[in-house]
Amino acid sequence: MLTPVKRDSGSVAALDPADEADLIARCRAAERAAHDEFYLRFRRQVAGNLYRVLGDRTDLDDLVQEVFVIAFRGLDRFRGDARLSTWLYRICVNVALGRIRTRKRRPAAYGVADLDAASADPSLTERPETPDRTLERRQEQEQVYRALAQLAPKKRIVLYLHEIEGLDLKEIAYLVDSNPVTVRTRLFYARREFYRVLAGAPAEEDEP
């Protein structure tokens, strides 16, 4: 079984496997209270995952809705070969991938305002950031998301999960429903492209 791959500063304590199985069984029985519990337990994790992958909050409500509808619809097929949170993360990744593909056809601008809507976990820093540092951090994040936007959707997801979320190839392969070798190949090309754009370097001339 794959262990949970995502941590979210706003999430509630993890369910133990017995409680998780019970919650799934009650959701499968279309118990309204179980659906509510499921939603309350995972809503912040789902919204956080989508927000981080996409980098802006446009239509985030709709995407969160989509993830939960897919989850409730697909719980019957959930075999339990991964933790529930991991399975949900997989749905998030697929929903985000769909959104990225749509956006590729109609690119959206990344603005400071988008990144201002949420902020980093305050526990990350001992003392409050200065306004200059906050602005600088937002600009850096904006650069990263701009560089990510240059990549093909599949490469982008793989790169994000590996370089930013720090997941290994096996975990990524489960999330994107692929095999580790394919993931490694995608990652190889994605890293070259991403860091070149992030560094502001031209396409060729680099050391092999």
Token representation of residue 27: 């959701």
Find the shortest distance in angstroms from Cβ 204 to another protein.
Answer: 10
Q: Kindly tell me which of 114 and 173 has the beta carbon lying closer to another protein.
A: 114
In the complex with another protein, the residue whose CB is nearer, 16 or 81, is 16
List contacts with another protein (CB under 8 A): 8-10, 12, 26, 29-36, 39, 43-44, 47-48, 50-52, 57, 60-61, 64-65, 68-69, 72-73, 117-124, 131, 137, 140-141, 143-144, 163-166, 191-192, 194-196, 198-201, 205-208
Per the structure block, which two tokens stand in for 173?
């392969």
Compare residues 47 and 96 and give the one whose CB is closer to another protein.
47
Question: What 3-state class would DSSP assign to 180?
Answer: helix
Q: What angle do CA 6, 11, 13 make, to 5 degrees?
A: 95
Q: Could you tell me the CA-to-CA distances from 91 to 30, 150, 169, 188, 189 in Å, in that order?
A: 20, 23, 18, 24, 25
Least distance to another protein from the beta carbon of 155, Å?
13
Nearer to another protein (CB atom), residue 80 or residue 195: 195
Complex with another protein: residue 1 or 203, whichever CB lies closer: 203
From the CB of 62, what's the least distance to another protein, in Å?
8
* Token pair listed for 101: 């593909």
Cα dist. 8→23, 55, 150, 187 in Å?
A: 20, 16, 27, 24
Task: Give me the sign of the Cα torsion angle 50, 54, 59, 63.
Answer: negative
Amino acid letter for position 92: C
How far apart are CB 53 and another protein at their closest, in Å?
10
CB of 69 to another protein, least distance (A): 5
